[in-house]
Amino acid sequence: MRRYLQGIAFLMAVGLALIPASSASAATRGEAQEMARLIGQLLSAGRVVIERNQALIDDPEKGDKGFTPDVFERQLIDEFRLRSGIDLKNMKEVAIPPMAKDLLQALVASSKSVVADAQDVINRKGVGYKNFIPASFGSQAAARFSAQSHVKLKQTTLQPRNANNTPDDYEQAVLRRLLVQPSQSVTINQVTDDGTLRVLTPIYYTKDCLTCHGSPAGQIDISGYPKEGAEEGDLAGAISVSVPLKEQER
């Protein structure tokens, strides 16, 4: 709880503790689809940044790693620009809904606060594996973002190690479909009966993921969980985004 409150304080310090009221209303379907796609891309980019720095984070020989929140933010902005063509440092001329601009900045702040709270762990000398990995980062960033936004963001998988990542009925159906019909880049979306746009972006295992999730299945990995027996390119899960729609767009 103390770290969560520190994270909220961090968000307040950068002026993004709460999404502005003008951005907290429901979106049209077109706006919602674009927002959800970009939010999913941004969380995915953050996961990639953590993965690229994993060897540094888990280096037991080094104390101060130099992987500060500001360093993370710079790398996140660079990775997101490569993926989307959007420069988060220069949003004035970007042709996306104003609501999306606010939400992307909020997710950057939430992500940065997670890295800020993890500094003691990241810089702990004499300890190798620290359980600060793409999945744990993503879960924390998604939870903080969702707590201060009308948009709900989560990671989900058919074999969750974190109960918060357990799929609901819709997510489970999409994940099972992706098992037989892989989609490396396409988001899958649907409007539910309550007027919420649900968008899932699939996540696939990379080579580095297999240290914990690979073979042999059932063997206890470094984090204390049984391995799933996955192979590179297998479906790992999805980033799930839920956006309320305006009444006329349902």
Exposure b/e, 132-159, CB count within 10 A at least 16 = b: bbbbbbbbbbbbbbbebbbbbbbbbbbe
Q: Is residue 9 part of a domain?
A: yes
pLDDT of residue 130: 94
What tokens appear for 242 in the block? 């839920």
Dihedral angle, C-alpha 19, 25, 29, 30, nearest 10 °? -50
Residue of 22, 74, 34 lying closest to 53 (CA atoms): 74
Q: Which residue has the tokens 């880049």?
A: 185
pLDDT of residue 43: 97
In a domain, 186, yes or no: yes
Say what the pLDDT of residue 57 is: 97
Give alpha helix (H) positions in the chain.
Answer: 2-13, 29-52, 54-57, 69-84, 98-117, 119-122, 134-147, 169-180, 210-213
Give the model's pLDDT for residue 108: 98
Phi, psi (rounded to 5 degrees) for 154: -155, 160
Tell me if 21 is assigned to some domain. Answer: no
Q: If you compute the radius of gyration of the chain from its CA atoms, what whole number of angstroms results? A: 18
Answer yes or no: is 20 within a domain.
Answer: no
The number of folded domains in the chain is 1
**pLDDT, tens digit only, all 250 positions of the chain:** 344 334 434 333 433 333 333 344 567 888 889 899 999 999 999 999 999 999 999 999 999 999 999 999 999 999 999 999 999 998 887 888 888 999 999 999 999 999 999 999 999 999 999 999 999 999 999 999 999 999 999 999 999 999 999 999 999 999 999 888 776 556 677 888 888 999 999 999 988 898 889 999 999 988 888 988 989 999 999 999 999 886 545 5
Q: Is 116 within a domain?
A: yes
Do the domain assignments include residue 23?
A: no
HSE toward the beta carbon, residue 13, CA cutoff 13 A: 11
CA distance 152 to 158: 19
| pLDDT at res. 249 | 55
Predicted TM-score (pTM) of this structure: 0.85
Residue 212 is assigned to a structural domain of this protein: yes
**Domain, as residue range, for 80:** 2-15+28-249
64 lies in some domain = yes
Q: According to the model, what pLDDT value does residue 231 have? A: 92
